[in-house]
Each structure stands twice: as structure tokens, then as C-alpha cells.
Structure 1
Amino acid sequence: MLKVLIACVWLAGSAYGAMAQAASVVFLNPGTSSETFWVSYAQFMQAAAKDLGLDLRVRYSERDAHNTLLHAREALHGSERPDYLVLVNEQYVAPQILRMAQGSGVKLVIVNNALTASQKQMLDARDDAHWVASLVADDEQAGYLMLTDLLRQYGPVSPGKTLDLLAFSGAKNTPAAQLREQGLRRALAEHPEVRLRQLVYGEWSRQRAFEQATQLFKRYPQAALVWSANDEMALGAMQALQDSGRVPGQAVLFSAVNSSPAILRARLEGRLTTLVAGHFTLGGWAMVLIHDDAKGVDIDAYGGRDRQQALFQLIGADQARRLLAPAPLVDFRALSAIGKQQPYRYPFSLQLLLR
């Protein structure tokens, strides 16, 4: 999708000195520099930063929490401290970074994976002294939507009949994965005709899910539904089914989260039955909040500083085609609360890219 997003992003990654008056931002990207989701996520952030006049630098952890902490220390205590540090609570790194930030003068914004309830209890008031905002998506709803839509598309189940389900979750120590699992289990509670035969942790990896699915399809040959917490794991599981001589979307119905070109094409081709997407926009919307905070706006007055946005939606064929096409430029400045009257609320939505 997001080769689109951004023909003009290359200007945004310049060094701090290039935009002397701009608020500076470092994003601690938890993904790899070749990972479709996290690369496109950063591109959307860069498009927002350019439009809003922010100076953004992206640091990829390459899926290594140790790298994330090293980059955080460099940003918070190095010679070129940014005004804002954007982080993800992937692998539960946020509390360490919050403590590291004490006395740095750097403001913190968390996206995608917020602090867990137990993490919040462990932190004292000093730890969030420079906390600006958290912005997360409705991950529990995404997990719920996937299974309920799979069942809708499967059709009525005869009385007394059951359907076997296989599930591929992400990483155990990632709040988004846990919430998507909760949504899955909520849907299961409403549909006793579905038997969850096994849930495995694919660690967001296509190869790992392929290897797991190869064994699971042998163990559970009657599996009719596959639920996957991201696109890469779904693609791996679909490949495993195809290698067994069966056709994804016919022998077994698949679901996934995300909007990479590969998964959008799978949705259009019918190999993927159910797709939900929208949370790749979180970083871009966070840039709007940072822009407003830097301009002195009390963002708490426009919906709160800790925000859960209803970003996930089902992606049908029309939406998949739209996301594969060149995206419209988002007017990020128009989303700012500057000059807006109450009860203005930030209208963050995937619909801004589907016009």
C-alpha cells in the first residue's frame, strides 16, 4: 500500500539542523528496516511530519528490544536530544524508557502498544512527568471482527455441527497481540459451534507461521478456519495449506490484520476471506498531537491524552483496491485543533485514506 503513501517523504528524514525552527522527533520503530508494516508505518509518519513542519528521525530496532533501549538512551541522553520521543511498548520496553527519560527534558508519546495495567501500577508519578500522550487502536475489536466475519462468510452451520479453528497470535509480550487474542476469545464465547483446536505464537513471522501451519494442518486436517493476528503469519499459513495441495479461500477460510500489498492482493484474489486494517495510521496521527502540543495546545481538552481510536475496519474488495492505488495526500494540518472550537475532536480515521 504504502509505496503510495509517500512520494514526498524523502524530505522528512533530514538531520536535525535542516529545520532549525521545527520541533524534533525520534521514533523508536520496533520492526525491521525491511518489514512491510513498520516501513509503511514510518512512511506515513514522515508524510505527516513533512506536512506539519516537524523534524522526524526513525530508528529501527530490527525486532531486538536491546537495540530499542540503546536507541532510547542515545536519544534521551546523547548530544542531540529531540523534543519528543515516540515509542512502542513492544516486548514491554516502555517502563524502562520512561525511567530513562527522567531529567532528560524530552517529552514522550507512546503508540500502538500502551502500558499494561500492571506496568502502570509499578510506575510512580515521577515516571510520567514528561508523558504527552498515548495513542492506540482498538485491537480487541480487531480480533473479534476477524472471527465474526469469517463465520459470516462461511455461512450457517448445521445444528450439532462444529467448525475447527486454528489461530496464530503474535508475540506473548506484546499488548496488541494479547488484546487481539481477547477479541478472538470473546467471539468464541458467542459461537460455541467453533472449536479452537490450537493457538500458537507465530511471532509476527511468515516463516515461523509457515512451519507451524505445516504441522497443524497435518494434526487437524478438518480445520476450516484460520485466524491470524497479522498479514505475514496469514501468508505463511496460506502457503502451508497450498503446499499440502489445498486451496486457501476454498478448503480453508483465512483472516488477517494489516494492509500490505501482498495481503490486499490475497483479499482481492479470494485466497484471504477476511481482512481488517487501519492501525498503520497511528504514527501519523501521533504527529498531529505532537504538532499541537509543541504549539501549546492542551490536547487533553480535545479527547484526552490517553486515546484509543476506533481505527480497525473490515476491508472488502473495494477498500482493498483503494488501498493498493496511489493514496490521496492527507491534509494533516487540517486535523490540528489549533483554531478549532469545542467540542472539536481529532477525526483520526482510515476513511481519510479511502476517499
Structure 2
Amino acid sequence: MIRWVLGLWLLLCCALASAQTRAPSVIFLNPGYSDEPFWADYTRYMQDAAGDLGIDLKVLYGERDPARMLSNARQVLDGEHPDYLIFTNEQFQGPVLLRLFEASQVGLFALHSTLTDEQQALIGGSRERHRNWLGSLVPNDEEAGYLMGRELIALAKGQPAELLAFSGVKQTPSSILRLAGLQRALNEAPHVRLVQAVHGEWQEQRAYEQAMSLLPRYPGVSLVWSANDAMAFGVMRAADEQGRDLRYAALNNSARVLQAHIDGRIDVLASGHFILGACALVMLSDHARDMDFIERGGQDQVASLLHLLDRAQSQKLLARLGQADIDMDFGQFSALTQPQQQRYDCSIASLLD
């Protein structure tokens, strides 16, 4: 009898140990193209963080197709459920995803873009009506748009100027917020006039075609604000073909835009949000280990990752991101290693040293 009890006790201990050491499983519904530099790099940093944190990560690309994104979500729902599902509110699909998984035990987490205030007024926020929606992590998009706009406007040196803006996909919160930030900067600078804001949908070719028709319409434009780097390059190509000398503000971390900033072809550059997904994995890793991130900044958090780079910082970032090994330990941001931290401090500071 004693031997039987000891045997059962050992089995229970082994089962508990196994449960405690099992890697948390996470699926990320990546909205981008699988060969899109920004989203491919975004995934690369998440995979690096997953390795540091002991997370089993799988990524499904939506290929910028709303139907494909929903198909990927249904594939997860019909398959073996992960511990966590990370989604974006791309094309405002967040409420649909929440409804799909409302009866499941999967923990849902909004990344990069969360439900808008209007959407949340209808269906509730995280941990409200949809109890398995654990929270969100988004970058400081409005602030980035503002800082880019303010720095670009400063190039006019107080003189009257005209500005043309290229925003992203109309139904994307990041696009809306960045453009709102630009408008805040314009409100502070009445001497600079926004002649038009168009939706370049993050695409170089579309921005090129738009700029080919817009630049002749606005011969006085000297400033171009772009919500990402691809659109800035599209406008730049059109301007070069038309012999226009313009000043540019852009956002991203591609080798191409970093080099353009170093060379002075991009005047203002914001970057830093490319590790946002990795930072989200830090939060979920803690949550899986009974250290709820709500105690370290709340359930819905804004990461102040986006900031303006000077040319020296662009040079450092270009060199670091060009390495095969990112050489960044994301475990350093976890509550496991910093149990006294009151807020997460995930940043690219170490990449700029």
C-alpha cells in the first residue's frame, strides 16, 4: 500500500513538473505578406524572443487579404488550440475574431493595433464581455506621427510651406493614429498647409502612381510626410522623374530606409516598433507563469518604442539589424528577471549602444 501511494505521488510530481515546464504555445495571425520586409522582420524578432523565453511560436500570414486572415483564424479554431492567439485589428477585423473564439479557452491578445474606441463601445474592452481577451500592446503611433510632422515642419524654418501626406490603409488603426499625430503637429504650425492626404496603402507602387498625378497639381509642395518607408520611396521616385526637390519624413527600419536616412535622402526617420511582437511575447510568457502583465502596466499597454533617429543611430541600427544573430536577450525584460519592475521596459536601446 505504501509503495502504491509513493508511486502515485511520484507520478503526480512528474505530471506537475511537466505542466510547469511545458512551453506555452502561441499562434500569431500576422496580417502582412510573408515576403513583406517589415512583417517578415517582425516575425524574425518574435522568433528570437520565443527562443529566449521558451515559447512554442507559430506564425500564419494573412497576405494582406481579409478573407485569408479569417481563414487562418478558423484554421486555428478547428485545430489544436494554442494557449494564446495574437491578432491585429487590421481591416477592423478584431470584433469578428473575438466572436469566433469567445467560447474557447484560448487567451486572445491584440498586437500592433487594437480595437478602436468605437468598437469597444459596442462590444466591450479586454477582460469585459470577452473574458478570454486578455489585453493589448500597441506602439505610440500618434506620437510618432506627431514627432515626424513636427520635425519635418521645422525644416521650413518658420516660412510658409505646403505639405503632402501619404497615409496607409484607411481601415487600419496605425494609419489613422499616425495621420492624427501629423494633424496635431500641423495645428501647431499654421504657416504650413496640408494640401492633401491620400491613402497609399503602405505600397511603394501605389504611392508612386498617386505622386505622379499629385505633384504636378501642387507645384508649391516642398514637404512629404509618409506613414511608412515604402510610400516615401514611391513619392521619391515620382519626384525624381519630375525634377522635384522635396524633403521627406518616413517611418520604419528597413536597410533601405536606414541607408537613405544616413545619406540624407530621408530627412526625418522614426523607428523602433519592429520589436513590438517580441515585447508582447515577454508579457504572455509572464502571464503563462502566473505573473499577470496587468500588474505591470495594465491589461492594455502602449509601448513607447517609436522615436526619431539621428543619422548616427541609423548607422548603428543598420549594422546591428544586418547581423544574422540579433544578439538581444528578450528574457531581460521579463518579470522573472526583474520581479520589482512596475512597467515593462522593452526597447531597442541596446541596439543603439
- Calculate the TM-score normalised by the size of structure 1: 0.89
- For 1:26, give the aligned amino acid: I
**2:135 is the counterpart of 1:141:** no
For residues 218 and 337 of structure 2, the distance between their equivalents in structure 1, rounded to whole angstroms, comes to 59
Deviation of 1:350 (Å): 2.3
Q: Which residue of 2 aligns with 1:85?
A: 85
Given that residues 36 and 260 in structure 1 are in contact (C-alpha distance below 8 angstroms), is that contact kept between their aligned partners in structure 2? Answer: yes
- For 2:163, give the aligned amino acid: L
**2:273 is the counterpart of 1:279:** yes
Q: Which residue of 1 aligns with 2:109?
A: 109
Deviation of 1:303 (Å): 1.0
For residues 133 and 33 of structure 1, the distance between their equivalents in structure 2, rounded to whole angstroms, comes to 26
Q: Which residue of 2 aligns with 1:199?
A: 197
Given that residues 102 and 127 in structure 1 are in contact (C-alpha distance below 8 angstroms), is that contact kept between their aligned partners in structure 2? Answer: no
Q: Once structures 1 and 2 are overlaid, which stretch shifts more, 341-350 or 62-71?
A: 341-350
Q: Which residue of 2 aligns with 1:36?
A: 37
Q: How many residues align?
A: 327
For residues 145 and 320 of structure 2, the distance between their equivalents in structure 1, rounded to whole angstroms, comes to 28
Identity %, equivalent residues: 45
- For 2:73, give the aligned amino acid: A
Given that residues 89 and 114 in structure 2 are in contact (C-alpha distance below 8 angstroms), is that contact kept between their aligned partners in structure 1? Answer: yes
Given that residues 91 and 174 in structure 1 are in contact (C-alpha distance below 8 angstroms), is that contact kept between their aligned partners in structure 2? Answer: yes
For residues 156 and 192 of structure 1, the distance between their equivalents in structure 2, rounded to whole angstroms, comes to 10
**2:325 is the counterpart of 1:326:** no
Deviation of 1:279 (Å): 1.2
- For 1:194, give the aligned amino acid: V
**CA RMSD across the alignment:** 1.5
Distance 1:339 1:47, change over 3 A: closer
For residues 278 and 126 of structure 1, the distance between their equivalents in structure 2, rounded to whole angstroms, comes to 31
| CA shift digits 1:61-114 (9 cap, x unpaired) | 110011111111111x22321111011101001110001011221101111111
Q: Which of 121, 129, 132 is the matching residue for 1:130? A: 132
**2:293 is the counterpart of 1:299:** yes
Given that residues 144 and 180 in structure 1 are in contact (C-alpha distance below 8 angstroms), is that contact kept between their aligned partners in structure 2? Answer: yes
Residue 85 of structure 2 aligns to a residue whose secondary structure is strand
Question: Stretches of 4+ moved more than 4 A in 1?
Answer: 124-127
- For 1:173, give the aligned amino acid: Q
Given that residues 168 and 201 in structure 2 are in contact (C-alpha distance below 8 angstroms), is that contact kept between their aligned partners in structure 1? Answer: yes
Q: Which residue of 2 aligns with 1:290?
A: 284
Deviation of 1:281 (Å): 1.2
Larger Rg: 2
Given that residues 158 and 191 in structure 2 are in contact (C-alpha distance below 8 angstroms), is that contact kept between their aligned partners in structure 1? Answer: no
Distance 1:226 1:83, change over 3 A: same
Deviation of 1:288 (Å): 0.2
For residues 150 and 21 of structure 1, the distance between their equivalents in structure 2, rounded to whole angstroms, comes to 49
Q: Which runs of 5+ in 1 are unaligned?
A: 1-19
Distance 1:258 1:178, change over 3 A: same
For residues 320 and 190 of structure 1, the distance between their equivalents in structure 2, rounded to whole angstroms, comes to 28
Alignment of 1:197-236 (within 5 A): 197-236=195-234
- For 1:351, give the aligned amino acid: A
Q: Which residue of 2 aligns with 1:70?
A: 71
For residues 43 and 127 of structure 1, the distance between their equivalents in structure 2, rounded to whole angstroms, comes to 33
Deviation of 1:341 (Å): 4.1
Q: Which residue of 2 aligns with 1:119?
A: 119
Given that residues 278 and 350 in structure 1 are in contact (C-alpha distance below 8 angstroms), is that contact kept between their aligned partners in structure 2? Answer: yes
Residue 271 of structure 1 aligns to a residue whose secondary structure is coil
Residue 165 of structure 1 aligns to a residue whose secondary structure is strand
Q: Which residue of 2 aligns with 1:256?
A: 250
Given that residues 320 and 351 in structure 2 are in contact (C-alpha distance below 8 angstroms), is that contact kept between their aligned partners in structure 1? Answer: no
